[in-house]
Amino acid sequence: MKFRKLGKTGLNVSEISFGGIMLMDTPQKEAKRIVETAVKKGINFFDVGPTYGNAQNILGPALKPFRDKVYLANKTEPGQTKEQVRRDMEESLKLLDTDYFDLYQLHEVTDEDALNSALGEGGALEAIIEAEEEGLVKNIGFSAHKEWAALKLIKSYDFDTVMFPINWNYWFNYNQGPEVIKKAREKEMGIIAIKALAQRQWQDGRQNNYNTWYKPIYDNDRLAELALKFTLSQDVDTAVSPGDNRMLDLALDIYEENDEDLKISEAELEELKGFLESHGGKLYPIPK
């Protein structure tokens, strides 16, 4: 596994990282195996949150033997009050059996009201800053799925990281991603890519028991390879696996089969663009 510096945090994170939502409702024994395998293959960045069902409860015991060897990220909902965020954080620390988070984020900032609430007096960001001063949080970031929200947050506060979809379909169809990367790097922010192996919203209902709200690229190996190459060829630091452990296995297989070199070539880029008409489509709502 290769590693990249997560912006100004100074953390050296694995190019493939672990989306903790995949452990929701997973038997503990199976979760232990999934986490052990991930760590053995070099993954050292784990992301989870309190809105992912019981994922925290399950990840905590599975990750405990490796806590001093990995980085752990968590998050909170941006529309909550300072007091609510603090309760969220303390509960997460307890469930994950840790004394601190390497990164704590505003989660999925999608609308103006939540954004303004998070940045305002008595809001979520204030609680996270206080926790950072206490040593409970080492770095502060946010996740957003729409470019306007990400750009406003980047401008509004000196965040350490941004989590944003750097996805072939979202990038080419809606031009979502390039400007976020540019503005984040101007402030030396770390960039955590999500949705690298996402295809589009489900068209005929969820299939094969995949619990992701979007269709992951589970049924086209070549497209999955090109999609992951595309994301890791952009100026990002790590790509978070989709919310299904089979997709983590696929990402690691692709990574290993390419000898950990996922730089997309010009010919491959044109091949990937050729999938847009047949396999692309609406992933997120069209940005405003």
Residue 101 DSSP one-character state: B
Low-confidence ranges of the chain (pLDDT < 50): none
Q: Are strands 198-201 and 190-194 parallel, antiparallel or unpaired?
A: unpaired
Q: Which residue has the tokens 């090109």?
A: 226
Q: What is the pLDDT of residue 286?
A: 63
Half-sphere exposure of 54 (CA within 13 A, CB side): 8
What torsion do the CA atoms of 124, 130, 133, 138 make, to the nearest 10 degrees?
-20
CA distance 218 to 195: 13
- Triad 170, 174, 178: Cα angle to 5°: 75
Q: What is the pLDDT of residues 131-155, one digit of tens each?
A: 999 999 999 999 999 999 999 999 9
Segments of the chain assigned E as strands: 3-5, 12-14, 16-19, 45-47, 71-76, 103-109, 140-144, 161-165, 190-194, 198-201, 214-216, 238-240
For 3-278, CATH number out of 3.60.21.10, 3.20.20.100, 3.20.20.140, 3.40.50.300 equals: 3.20.20.100
Q: Give the angle subtended at the CA of 33 by the CAs of 218 and 166, to the nearest 5°.
A: 40
> Cα–Cα distance between 182 and 262 in angstroms, integer?
21
Residue 177: how many other CB atoms lie within 10 Å? 24
pLDDT of 288? 52
pLDDT of residue 103: 98
Q: What is the pLDDT of residue 163?
A: 98
User: Which pLDDT belongs to residue 52?
Assistant: 95
pLDDT of residue 204: 79
User: Residues 74, 48: contact at Cβ < 8 Å?
Assistant: yes
Q: Model-level pTM?
A: 0.97
- 42: how many CB neighbours lie within 10 A of its CB? 15
3-class SS string, 6-39:
CHHHCCEEECEEEEHHHHCCCCHHHHHHHHHHHH
**What's the confidence (pLDDT) of residue 284?**
86
Pair 106, 78: CB distance under 8 Å = yes
Distance CA 85, CA 107 (A): 11
Bridge partners for 187 per DSSP: none
pLDDT at position 195 is 97
pLDDT at 211: 85
pLDDT at residue 287, rounded to an integer: 58
